[in-house]
Structure 1
Amino acid sequence: MNKQTILWILRFLVGGLFIFSGLIKVNDPVGTAIKLEEYFDVFSNDIAGFFLYLKPFALPIAVILVVSEVVLGVMLIIGYRLKQTIWALGLMILFFTFLTFFSAYFNKVTDCGCFGDAIKLTPWESFYKDLILLIFIGFLFAFRKNLPEDSPKWTAWTSLLTLVASTGLAIWAIQNLPFIDFRAYKVGVNIPVNMQPSAPLEYTYVMKKDGQEFRFDQYPTEEGYEFVEMLLKNPAALPKISDFAAWNAEGDQSEFLFAGNKVIILSSNMSKMSDSNLDRLSEMVHDLEGAPVDVVFMAAATQEEIDSFLSQQNWSVIGLQADATVVKTIMRSNPGIMVLKDGVVLEKYHHNNTPDAGEIVDLFL
């Protein structure tokens, strides 16, 4: 295998992975912005305080990053401005490698979001993936003089078209909802079922006796063993949803949400909640009065803030509190709407796509 063939294979592998990773995140730039906010919070505490000032710009930064991944991946494969492309990819992968190493070594952000919600990697898996990419890109950089310097005109137009298309898709996903929902609360999911293990959990018990380590499938009853740790044998059986909860002054209301027909209006941050479609939401809420459905407003806020908001909007609905991370995971819109029937997600709406009451009722038929 000659050098040119190796370089082409590396271009295809690196470019393909960047395109794949970028497209998954173009599908959900709000999710990438949420992940960046986590990093900015950590960096502001551990590295420098100025990172906190980047949080308001997390969404535009996310769009630039995810679009750049797609465009640079395409440019690398089709051979447009290869030397500049390799420089840009090298800087990007250095940045990503730093993020994933920081996450893994200091155990700060347990999910890097490298492939959005589609493929979950542990921090160390993410770091090793970036390290391999760094080696591949380093090889391309070292032999950049052997790469073609000129490219056909169609490569420039293809790169421009990729830039326009991926930017347009990212903006559409922000103004609506992700094209493909990879989260545990996607349409069709039974939330209470997803909160349970898919199979009985099996453990290996690591014990120590006389300086030697032993492993048992059942906790040993014999005396003399010292417990070391308990290892899960079938992690794939763990609940896909482990943190869902909704409550008010009367206690946990999760079971109430999973019974019957529910329309849940969600807000992850009431101070940043968009008011551009509150009139449409109010019309939907009022038109659902008397319908066989419970309307719930569920927000990451104090009960006083929730009750005050409901009073201002003149909404005669149930107000519940929730964790901000859970609400952000459920809904990429603030506010947004989730329709449940006996705990099954029937539909989800961005506030820009607020349905009328008739459309909601038809879902339950």
Structure 2
Amino acid sequence: MKAFIAISRLIVGSLFIVSGLIKCNDTLGFSYKLNDYFAHDVLNLEFLIPYSLLLAVLICVVEIVLGVALIFGLKSKLSTTLILLMMLFFTWLTWYTSSCLEAQEVAGKLGEEFNKNCVTDCGCFGDALKLEPKESFYKDLFLLIFTIPLFFFGMKNKIPVNSKKEDLFYMVTSLVLIFGFGVLVIGWWFTVLFSMVLYGVVYFIKNKSKGEWLSLLAAYVLSLGFTYYCLQHLPIKDFRAYKIGNNIADEMKVPEDAKKPVIEYTWVFKVNGEDQEFVTNGAYPEVNGDYVGVTTKVIEEGFEPKILDFSIESEDEDLTDYFLSADKLLMIVSYNILSGEKEGMTKLKKLSDEALKNGYTVIGLTASGAADKQKIKSAYNLDFDFYLCDEKVLKTIVRSNPGVLTLEKGTVTQKVHWNDIEDLEL
């Protein structure tokens, strides 16, 4: 059992640190996911929406601190209790999400109305690792196998503070696990580098001051500092399809030889006064009866492009292909121009004028209406037009309002937060 508890501490602690770092890297994206859950047609917790960013920061930073507490054996009663509570909550949340999707599918088959909105991705690992809700649920159930014993041992004070020798063992072994998941699975070396710095600072403070709270405070400050940096600039690792180097047009294409989805069609006919079902792969069945209806079920997913809903539209036409073929395009993104940061909006005039002088085509993308666009253009004396794009897409493109991208024939060459507009090379 002692060996099992050691393994549990290493697995849960290391995974909490990596998971927390991924969300700290893109806390704004995590807050958008929380908003999806808070919506009235999901959990109906709309009163929490104004606090979603604060909650996102708190959750991801605490996740890292709890991981550190497990690795070093700090405040084991409190840390194991909080970890169990978090795991129980997220296990329930992933169960709720997967159950919602299943209920939605059943309602569709029965032709019944389904009033709830289902979140399709829990956001457990942000955009770094996409898991189906059911996969996330099974992952959480697996982690509970380790978390529950940790809680009982922690409550009995059977997880003491590490000795120096134990610290070295747990740090090295944990770094190996973080390398396995953070680098080999996620492809992000920073998880290892940050953890090395984090462990070094905590080890030094713990063994010099003998203070558990001071050690955890150091972990909190480091994690919060990293989170703040990413919020004031952009995520240091971009896991999305709009990252620098990607061609947006290419990411939207479906290759000719792409895998097609396997779909099962269930046809319902009234035969001799009774409803009967006939299953085909899409062909209309030859049945002597009256057609009632048909439902479909995806048996095997086909190829899906990474970018699905991106468009650049005026009030009259779709200009996506036109602008993505431009040699030099400066794209200013503001999903809601009325809520854009004032300091960032004031920088757009100088930026756009300089870009136009250097031969760039300059456009804005927003989900705001015509009246709002005209109001902002007049307020900041902007000499470029704003075009329409879906709000969720714009939030995905850049984690800043406003944010700026430069493109060459559809390939993203630069992307900056409004704080870093001066760093653009035009």
SS of equivalent residue, structure 2 residue 246: coil
One-letter identity of the residue aligned with 1:253:
L
Which residue in the other structure is 1:40 paired with? 38
Give me the TM-score of the superposition, normalised by structure 1.
0.87
Match of 2:258 among 192, 200, 203: 200
In the alignment, structure 1 segments of 5+ residues that lack a partner are none
1:64 to 2:66 alignment: no
Match of 1:278 among 345, 348, 351: 345
Which residue in the other structure is 1:259 paired with? 325
Equivalent-residue separation in structure 2 for 1:278 and 1:238 (angstroms): 35
Equivalent-residue separation in structure 2 for 1:336 and 1:271 (angstroms): 14
Equivalent-residue separation in structure 2 for 1:339 and 1:119 (angstroms): 27
Which residue in the other structure is 1:360 paired with? 425
Equivalent-residue separation in structure 1 for 2:265 and 2:316 (angstroms): 43
- The structural deviation recorded for 1:105 is 1.4
Asked if the contact 1:81–1:151 (Cα under 8 Å) also holds between the matched residues in 2, the reply is: no
1:14 to 2:41 alignment: no
Asked if the contact 2:29–2:126 (Cα under 8 Å) also holds between the matched residues in 1, the reply is: yes
Asked if the contact 2:366–2:391 (Cα under 8 Å) also holds between the matched residues in 1, the reply is: yes
Asked if the contact 1:204–1:215 (Cα under 8 Å) also holds between the matched residues in 2, the reply is: no
Which residue in the other structure is 1:329 paired with? 396
Which residue in the other structure is 1:350 paired with? 417
Give me the TM-score of the superposition, normalised by structure 2.
0.76
Equivalent-residue separation in structure 1 for 2:401 and 2:345 (angstroms): 11
Asked if the contact 1:248–1:303 (Cα under 8 Å) also holds between the matched residues in 2, the reply is: no
In the TM superposition, 1:176-325 aligns within 5 A as 176-198=233-255, 199-206=257-264, 223=286, 229=296, 231=298, 233=300, 235=302, 237-260=303-326, 261-325=328-392
- Alignment deviations for residues 221-244 of structure 1 (CA, whole Å, 9 cap, x no partner): 985699764646463x31001111
SS of equivalent residue, structure 2 residue 54: helix
Asked if the contact 2:87–2:144 (Cα under 8 Å) also holds between the matched residues in 1, the reply is: yes
SS of equivalent residue, structure 1 residue 348: strand
In the alignment, structure 2 segments of 5+ residues that lack a partner are 102-117, 164-205
Equivalent-residue separation in structure 1 for 2:217 and 2:373 (angstroms): 46
Identical amino acids, percent of aligned pairs: 35
Which residue in the other structure is 2:176 paired with? none
Asked if the contact 1:264–1:295 (Cα under 8 Å) also holds between the matched residues in 2, the reply is: yes
Which residue in the other structure is 1:115 paired with? 125
- The structural deviation recorded for 1:160 is 3.0
Equivalent-residue separation in structure 2 for 1:324 and 1:344 (angstroms): 21
CA-atom RMSD in angstroms: 2.6
SS of equivalent residue, structure 2 residue 141: helix
1:129 to 2:139 alignment: yes
- Alignment deviations for residues 25-74 of structure 1 (CA, whole Å, 9 cap, x no partner): 111111111111111114xx4555xx222111111111110001111011
1:4 to 2:19 alignment: no
SS of equivalent residue, structure 1 residue 272: coil
Equivalent-residue separation in structure 2 for 1:93 and 1:15 (angstroms): 12
Asked if the contact 1:303–1:320 (Cα under 8 Å) also holds between the matched residues in 2, the reply is: no
Asked if the contact 1:266–1:334 (Cα under 8 Å) also holds between the matched residues in 2, the reply is: yes
1:90 to 2:84 alignment: yes
One-letter identity of the residue aligned with 2:357:
G
- The structural deviation recorded for 1:266 is 0.7
Residues 148, 267 of structure 1: alpha-carbon distance in 2 compared, 3 angstrom cutoff: same
SS of equivalent residue, structure 2 residue 11: helix
One-letter identity of the residue aligned with 2:304:
L
One-letter identity of the residue aligned with 1:30:
L
